[in-house]
Chains A and B, each alone.
Chain A
Amino acid sequence: MDMVEVLERLNYQVTYNPAQTCCGQPAFNAGHREEAHSVASCFLEAFKEAECIVCPSGSCVAMVRKFFPQVFQSSKELEIAKSLESKVFEFTEFLVREGKVNELSGQAEGKVAFHNSCHAMRELRLIDEPWAVLRKIEGCQWVQPEVEPTCCGFGGLFSVKFSPISQTMAKTRLEQFVDCGADTLVTNDPGCLQQLKTEASSKSLGIDILHLSQFLNRALNHPGVRS
């Protein structure tokens, strides 16, 4: 809902189709393309009339933009699937593309770090976009680990099938943020969010973990912001 509120603040009319379910990525990434196809078909049905689709997850966007052509290969829905490629955007990608970043002004406190999701970073090449948005938030200190960014270990069904590996990956990633002194960690994908939050709470780490849209909405509504 935070993303909706930010978009509305920027004067967009947001609609939500209650019939929507999932893009089919869990099955696609497991190699089960028939199941992915059946669920992705519902996605096409729900979104084929949309003017523009904004999503708070680079992973889902990558699925629609990059992998739908494979899912719908030699299917009569291929044309509709391809028409969505240029209409679907990750949240920060949308804000940057629409030139709305300069209209953002927000406040936050503490030492804040950002974890970019692998699919946003490597499938969609969204590296500068999240930062263009985050840099608009003042009052907090931005800290970042010195090491190369690594995966949080979520990986969808990977985290279920190989949970000890997945958990240790989360531990290693979180350790990097704790080591650089962050008290708040912002991430742009619900998958990473869930993975990192679960690991942090099981280890009782004193670090607040938020989705970028949550962090942004809070910062925009911060009492310290001059209107």
Chain B
Amino acid sequence: MSQLQSFLDNSENKALDEIHRKKIIKAVTSYDQTVIGMKSEQFKDWAHSREVAGKIKQATLDRLPDYLEEFESKIQARGAQVLWAEDAQAARSFIDEIIARHKVKQVVKSKSMTTEEIDLNEHLEEQDIEVFESDLGELIVQLAGEKPYHIVTPAMHKSKEEIAELFNEKLNSDPDSTAEELTMTARAFLRNAYVTSQIGITGANFLIADEGAVVMIENEGNGRLSMACPPVHVVVAGIEKMLPRLRDLPLFLPLLSTSGTGQEVTCYNSIIKGPKGEEEVDGPEHMYVILLDNGRSELFQDEEFQQALRCIRCGACLNACPVYRTIGGHSYDTTYQGPIGSVITPHLRDLASFGHLAQASSLCGACTDVCPVKIDLHHLLLENRWRSKKAGLSGIKWELILKIWAWVFKSRSRLNGMSKFIQLTQGLVRMLMPKSLREKVPRRAKKSFGELWKERQQ
């Protein structure tokens, strides 16, 4: 089945699923309330902050190659190794080499969309390597055999009851567990994995050029343990995660936390500058930073779309999007869902398979309004539609419909003729329509504005 057809099927199923709709409305309503309060409480001027943040990210992109090299040389000087992965295959190969070198049998991971992007879990499991997802939300979707539903809150679509049932089945916990008890079950399940895993794989929220540092933020402490306990730490980070200076963090940490979850800052904020130093008593012996391109260079070189690389993956556009709220994260069948996903996926993957995502938007602009780095998201969706058309991907049906439409609307007399025709035939046509369609198609008004105007002038 084509990507488009499966999108149509899945999105329709979710749109008609009342239980799903109610769950998501509840989640995003509580998100909205928290975030709106936090924006005014924490920021003197939210609009100005996002203006500045957008400019810093854009200025970073203007000199991205320089910053990446600065980052590489600084962190390598402290013993970390930087690996440049052109695509997902290259990134997986680097990880394979690391696994062979360090005789890895078990991996503990913290939440990372970049590793989702390269299908790392499937790849590792194929080689009989055990993978522990240590973020609670990620663990839930891993146990359920699903993909993350949301880039920030991967298990947003699961109620407490569903999680209790899942944990009962997979981790043998009490089926009536409270939220606290479920968390404790996950904790007990994961604790040992930090110590027994030979390698911890994490993502990065930011890469800092001037310090040569990796910044990771989280709320559960699992990221810190995944990074610090195993003897080898591997970071997989997209090249767009760069910030020029350490002193950009006082803006970007609260910006990301506020937009992501409505927090002042996240509970754990780690700045990692390399493996264990000579004077230090703990920490990983080895550190590898895999810098992932995987189509980002193409976006970088695209005048219109470069701005999409400003994204700090806060998820605000997903939460604001009425389409995301209706169809949920899984319908997209992409690593990055929602508006930002529909903007970048056709470029990171391919336009022919994912161009339809940009069509699946009412272009309401709610995403653009909430983006903390001011990516012009809904206009980029429009741009993707134009690219699809130029690439001949509209399909014969829509090519024809719009050609006829333009032919009619280029001439008032043709339009009047069409309008008269509809007026004369609509009774019969409506009778032949199934009821569900008849409800959707509005009747032509008894008289058009032009007809009323003419009568008035007489």
Query: How many chain-A residues does the 8 Å CB contact rule pick out?
Result: 52
Q: Which residues of the other chain, B, contact A168 by a CB distance below 8 angstroms?
A: 15-16, 21, 326
- Report whether B452 and A123 are in contact in the complex, using a CB–CB cutoff of 8 Å: no
| Segment touching B, from A26-34, A95-103, A129-137 | A26-34
The residue among B322, B452, B454 with the most chain A CB atoms within 10 A of its own CB is B322
Q: Which residues of the other chain, B, contact A24 by a CB distance below 8 angstroms?
A: 409
- Report whether B454 and A18 are in contact in the complex, using a CB–CB cutoff of 8 Å: yes
Q: Which residues of the other chain, B, contact A22 by a CB distance below 8 angstroms?
A: 409
- Report whether B360 and A31 are in contact in the complex, using a CB–CB cutoff of 8 Å: no
Q: Which residues of the other chain, B, contact A173 by a CB distance below 8 angstroms?
A: 322
* Minimum C-beta distance from A223 to chain B (A): 24
- Report whether A158 and B402 are in contact in the complex, using a CB–CB cutoff of 8 Å: no
Give the docked Cα–Cα distance between A93 and B403 (Å).
Answer: 34
- Report whether A42 and B326 are in contact in the complex, using a CB–CB cutoff of 8 Å: no
Judge whether B134 is part of the interface by a CB distance below 8 angstroms: no
Residue from A31, A147, A148, A150 within 8 A of B388 (CB atoms): A31
- Given A151-B366, A169-B362, do A27 and B405 touch, yes or no (CB 8 Å)? yes
Give the docked Cα–Cα distance between A27 and B11 (Å).
Answer: 24
- Report whether B439 and A122 are in contact in the complex, using a CB–CB cutoff of 8 Å: no
- Given A21-B409, A172-B21, do A158 and B366 touch, yes or no (CB 8 Å)? no
| Segment touching B, from A75-83, A159-167, A214-222 | A159-167
- Given A39-B406, A167-B15, do A147 and B29 touch, yes or no (CB 8 Å)? yes
- Report whether A161 and B29 are in contact in the complex, using a CB–CB cutoff of 8 Å: no
Judge whether A202 is part of the interface by a CB distance below 8 angstroms: yes
Judge whether A141 is part of the interface by a CB distance below 8 angstroms: no
Judge whether B398 is part of the interface by a CB distance below 8 angstroms: yes
Judge whether B365 is part of the interface by a CB distance below 8 angstroms: yes
Judge whether B178 is part of the interface by a CB distance below 8 angstroms: no
The residue among B16, B365, B384, B409 with the most chain A CB atoms within 10 A of its own CB is B409
- Report whether B326 and A172 are in contact in the complex, using a CB–CB cutoff of 8 Å: yes
The residue among B11, B412, B456 with the most chain A CB atoms within 10 A of its own CB is B412
Query: How many chain-B residues does the 8 Å CB contact rule pick out?
Result: 53
- Given A18-B454, A169-B326, do A1 and B449 touch, yes or no (CB 8 Å)? yes
- Report whether A155 and B326 are in contact in the complex, using a CB–CB cutoff of 8 Å: no
- Chain B, residues 262-305, CB within 8 Å of chain A (1/0): the string is 00000000000000000000000000000000000000000000
Give the docked Cα–Cα distance between A164 and B327 (Å).
Answer: 10
Residue from B327, B394, B412 within 8 A of A31 (CB atoms): B394
The residue among A31, A41, A150, A168 with the most chain B CB atoms within 10 A of its own CB is A31
Give the docked Cα–Cα distance between A27 and B360 (Å).
Answer: 15
A-B pairs, top 6 by smallest CB distance, nearest first, are A155-B362, A31-B385, A151-B364, A122-B365, A118-B364, A35-B406
30 contacts between A and B (CB under 8 A): A1-B449, A1-B452, A16-B449, A21-B409, A21-B411, A27-B406, A29-B363, A30-B389, A30-B398, A31-B384, A31-B386, A31-B394, A32-B389, A33-B389, A38-B410, A42-B410, A123-B365, A161-B359, A162-B11, A163-B440, A164-B11, A164-B12, A164-B15, A165-B11, A165-B323, A168-B21, A169-B323, A169-B326, A172-B326, A202-B440
Task: Other than A26-B405, A33-B386, A122-B364, give 10 A-B pairs with Cβ distance below 8 A.
Answer: A21-B412, A39-B406, A122-B365, A150-B366, A155-B361, A158-B359, A158-B361, A158-B363, A161-B360, A198-B440
